[in-house]
Amino acid sequence: MRMRVVLALLLPVLLLLAVFFVVPIITVLAASFDTSDPQRVAGWAAYWKLASDTYYVRVFIQTFVFAIALTVLTLLFGYPIASFIARTSAVERGIVIFLVIAPLLISMVVRSYGWQLILGNSGLVNTVLAAAGLVPVHFMAGWTAVTIASVHVLLPFAVISIAGVLSSLDRSIEESAAVLGASPVKVFFLVTLPMALNGLVTAATFVFLLAMGSFVTIMMLGGRGTMVVPLLIYQQVTITYDQPFASAMAAVLMVVTLGMLFGQFRLLRKRSV
């Protein structure tokens, strides 16, 4: 009887995921082998093109380096904010959490648009610079604008997950270390960091996955030089209508991402033993 109840609770979501998640993922793999249109690069030829054409190789590398760089930057900028949340007064904590969460609830498109108004050639920063008699800076269409806006998008996720990790730590251990004469730097590196590491890696994974899949900020603030795989996939589908090749790119992106996740999972396993 109990088995039936458990099954009843789990079945709806399992069925939904099987039909509308697993099958679509398989179809996209199959679609990359759809050679019915001789005009299109499909099948192994598509994968070979991705592996040998220097342009695609460069865009793939660029995508991963950018996602990793964003993850590191976001964690570095976010950690102090999270640790502040963990130790400040209730009122200030409420205000800071509000300011961190509020941008999250406003569309990424809108936030990127806000950055256009700030960093654009006649935007806020350049208006201020011109008023001060300084040379205007060209932020847009390059990595600077894209990085600033992406950190802004990802920071709330990082702060919320790190704050969750920090609030679950046993603070008395840190205090004991301090009482026993460890300097704040030592306490951080030898006590807090090792305790929080698993949670931090989870937060990093979360941020990394979000960074890997989205292209809104890059589409709105980037230029020719800032191409990444998600944007390339989007263009293949909507501009060149090359679904097989786009599917091949999606398959490679997915496999490499899962590979990196698996590596991280193994790393965590080793640490916790």
Partner 1 sequence: MRKPAHPLLRGYVWVMMVFMALPLVVVIGASFNRGAAIRFPPEGMTLHWYAEVWRNADMVRSATNSLLLAVCATLISFIIGVPAALALVRHVHRHREALQAFLLSPMTVPAIVLGIAFLVFFGWTGMGLSFTTLLIAHVIITVPYVIRSVAGVYLGVAVSIEEAAKVLGADPWQLFTKVTLPLIMPGVVAGGLFSFIMSFDNVPVSIFLTRRETLTLPVYVMSYLVHNFDPTIAAVSSVQVLFTTAAIIVIEKFYGIRRLTETI
Q: Pick the piece of the chain touching partner 1 (CB under 8 A) from 68-76, 134-142, 190-198, 231-239.
A: 231-239
- Please tell me whether residue 183 binds partner 1 under the rule CB under 8 A: no
Q: Whose Cβ is closer to partner 1: residue 23's or residue 173's?
A: 23
- Residues 6 or more apart from 162 whose CB is under 8 A from it? 75, 78, 79, 82, 83, 196, 199, 200, 203
Q: Which amino acid is at 37?
A: D
- Please tell me whether residue 194 binds partner 1 under the rule CB under 8 A: no
> Which tokens in the block code for residue 3?
């088995």
Site string for partner 1, 60-79 (x = CB under 8 A): -----------------x--
Q: Pick the piece of the chain touching partner 1 (CB under 8 A) from 52-60, 87-95, 137-145, 192-200.
A: 87-95
C-beta separation of 155 from 77 below 8 A: yes
- Please tell me whether residue 141 binds partner 1 under the rule CB under 8 A: no
Query: 132-170: string of b/e by CB count within 10 Å (b at 16+)?
Result: eeeeeeebbeebebbbbbbbbbbbbbbbbbbbebbeeee
Residue 217 Cβ vs partner 1, minimum distance, rounded to whole Å: 10
**2, 4, 224, 270: residue in contact with partner 1 (rule CB under 8 A):** 2
Q: How many residues bind partner 1 (CB under 8 A)?
A: 89
**68, 219, 235, 268: residue in contact with partner 1 (rule CB under 8 A):** 219
Site string for partner 1, 158-177 (x = CB under 8 A): --xx-xx--x---x------
- Please tell me whether residue 10 binds partner 1 under the rule CB under 8 A: yes
- Please tell me whether residue 196 binds partner 1 under the rule CB under 8 A: no
Site string for partner 1, 35-54 (x = CB under 8 A): --------------------
Residue 107 Cβ vs partner 1, minimum distance, rounded to whole Å: 5
C-beta separation of 64 from 72 below 8 A: no
C-beta separation of 118 from 94 below 8 A: no
C-beta separation of 220 from 116 below 8 A: yes
Site string for partner 1, 244-273 (x = CB under 8 A): --xx--xx-xx--xx--x------------
- Please tell me whether residue 214 binds partner 1 under the rule CB under 8 A: yes
Q: Which amino acid is at 215?
A: F
Query: How many whole angstroms separate alpha carbon 215 and alpha carbon 233?
Result: 10
Residue 81 Cβ vs partner 1, minimum distance, rounded to whole Å: 5
Query: How many whole angstroms separate alpha carbon 95 and alpha carbon 85?
Result: 10
Task: Tell me which DSSP letter residue 120 carries.
Answer: S
- Please tell me whether residue 155 binds partner 1 under the rule CB under 8 A: yes
Site of tokens 């130790």: 87
Site string for partner 1, 90-129 (x = CB under 8 A): x--xx-xxxxxxxxxxxxxxxx-xxx-xx---xxx--x--
- Please tell me whether residue 209 binds partner 1 under the rule CB under 8 A: yes
Number of C-beta neighbours around residue 216 at 10 A:
17
Number of C-beta neighbours around residue 213 at 10 A:
13
Query: How many whole angstroms separate alpha carbon 84 and alpha carbon 44?
Result: 52
